[in-house]
Amino acid sequence: GAAQAAKAAVNYTPTKADYQKVYNRIAEIMDDAGEYDDGSYGPVLLRLAWHASGTYDKATNTGGSNYATMRFDPEALHAANAGLAVARGLMDQVKREFPWISYGDLWTLGGVAAVQEMGGPKIPWRPGRIDGYARDATPDGRLPDAAQGAGHVKEIFARMGFTDQEAVALCGAHALGRCHRDRSGYDGPWTFSPTTFTNDYYTLLFDESWVWKKWGGPKQLEDKKTRSLMMLPTDYVLTQDTHFKKHAKAYAADSALFFRDFSAAFARLLELGVPFAAAEPWEMRSLDEQK
Ligand code: ZEM
């Protein structure tokens, strides 16, 4: 196929050092965001990695990051993916410099770089994804809908093969980034430090009082005190559902536990549906560690 042809053309098996170079370039681009959002492309790159992977269906072993099918319509146009053209465009810059990397490896490595460079835990990662075709894409509707309740969140994450605990840990990524009116229709950040990976998402969920925002947009909550933070209906259910609440409380109380569980769940998310060769995952080094 195309992937083999590309590999033969460069006639070279990339090493860990080569992937570290890609990681470094992504990390540089991420920081070079100027006035964009909160000054970092990290959150939107993380969202790309998540949406590329979160289409996985365990029962049929379809979807996931392997074929990077979001490059093609109609998946690129799925409502859930609104705004991710920004992230794909940045990744295309990197791809031009390192043409040997597959899009699935590139996008998931972008998620790893985003988490690590924004101060999060190390995410074990390995290459092995191959570029697929539009016909490998999964139907619309596999990613979670923020307007729904606890049952929907459980069902969507269980379909990917995740437990409630893993679902709660993964949602802690909302410590990062923000909602955009012109993308999802929702508006605002979840935390006061949207470019730093923390467990603030959980502490804020429990420590602030959340009230429905009175506005013309979709149903979302705002914190009563400052009215500058937001929660989606699916975020708020982590405080309402008994099982979700137990884990969310634990992550609010113990940042190290959250970092550990997020790392494990996110590493697994990035590998869903990917038939790897035997190689063990690597730990890529942050820019700071290479100074
Ligand atoms: Zn999100 N997410 N997400 N998420 N997400 C948004 C933004 C970001 C849900 C969701 O509907 C939305 C996970 C889980 C879930 C990130 C990472 C991860 C936005 C705002 C919405 C509406 C999009 C916009 O307007 O730009 C729902 C319903 C989820 C589960 C129930 C998981 C899991 C994630 C990673 C592990 C990130 C980083 C953002 C911020 C993007 C940005 O551009 O700032």
Tens of pLDDT, residue by residue, the chain (291 residues): 566 655 555 567 899 999 999 999 999 999 999 999 999 999 999 999 999 999 999 999 999 999 999 999 999 999 999 999 999 999 999 999 999 999 999 999 999 999 999 999 999 999 999 999 999 999 999 999 999 999 999 999 999 999 999 999 999 999 999 999 999 999 999 999 999 999 999 999 999 999 999 999 999 999 999 999 999 999 999 999 999 999 999 999 999 999 999 999 999 999 999 998 667 999 999 999 998
Backbone angles phi, psi at 150, to 5 degrees: -60, -40
Give the pLDDT score at 1: 54
Give yes or no for a contact between 101 and 95, defined as CB atoms under 8 angstroms apart. Answer: yes
Question: Could you tell me which of 281, 273, 262, 264 has the C-alpha nearest to residue 68?
Answer: 273
Residue 137 amino acid letter? A
Residue 73 amino acid letter? D
H or E element, residue 133: none
Beta strand 221-223 with 230-231: parallel, antiparallel or unpaired?
antiparallel
Would you state the structure tokens that stand for residue 110, as one six-digit string? 């972008």
Would you state the structure tokens that stand for residue 77, as one six-digit string? 């146009």
Q: How far is the CA of 93 from the centre of ligand 1 (A)?
A: 23
Distances (CA, A) of 104 to 67, 126, 194: 6, 11, 25
Give the pLDDT score at 35: 95
Known catalytic membership, residue 212: no
Give the pLDDT score at 6: 57
Give the pLDDT score at 101: 97
Give the pLDDT score at 279: 79
Q: How far is the CA of 278 from the centre of ligand 1 (A)?
A: 32
Known catalytic membership, residue 51: yes
Residue 112: count of CB within 10 angstroms of its CB: 26
- Residues 183-204: b if buried by 16+ CB within 10 A, e if exposed: bbebbbbbbeebbbbbbbbbbb
Give the pLDDT score at 8: 56
Say how far apart CA 259 and CA 111 lie, in whole Å. Answer: 15
Say how far apart CA 174 and CA 194 lie, in whole Å. Answer: 8
Residue length of the chain: 291
Find the largest Cα–Cα distance for the chain: 59
Sorted by sequence, the CB contacts under 8 Å of residue 141 that are 6+ apart come out as none
Give yes or no for a contact between 131 and 72, defined as CB atoms under 8 angstroms apart. Answer: no
Sorted by sequence, the CB contacts under 8 Å of residue 151 that are 6+ apart come out as none
Ligand 1 in contact with 51 (CB < 6 A)? no
CA 88, 266, 97, 42 dihedral sign is positive
Would you state the structure tokens that stand for residue 243, as one six-digit string? 């099982």
Ligand 1 in contact with 177 (CB < 6 A)? yes
Q: Candidates 174, 239, 272: which one to mutate for ligand 1, based on the most atoms within 8 Å of Cβ?
A: 174
Give yes or no for a contact between 37 and 43, defined as CB atoms under 8 angstroms apart. Answer: yes
Q: Which residue of the set 50, 51, 125, 174 is catalytic?
A: 51
Q: Which atom of ligand 1 is nearest to the CA of 181?
A: 25
For residue 174, count CB atoms less than 10 angstroms from its CB and return exposed for 0-12, middle for 13-18, buried for 19 or more. Answer: buried
Angle in degrees, CA 213, 164, 168, rounded to 5: 45
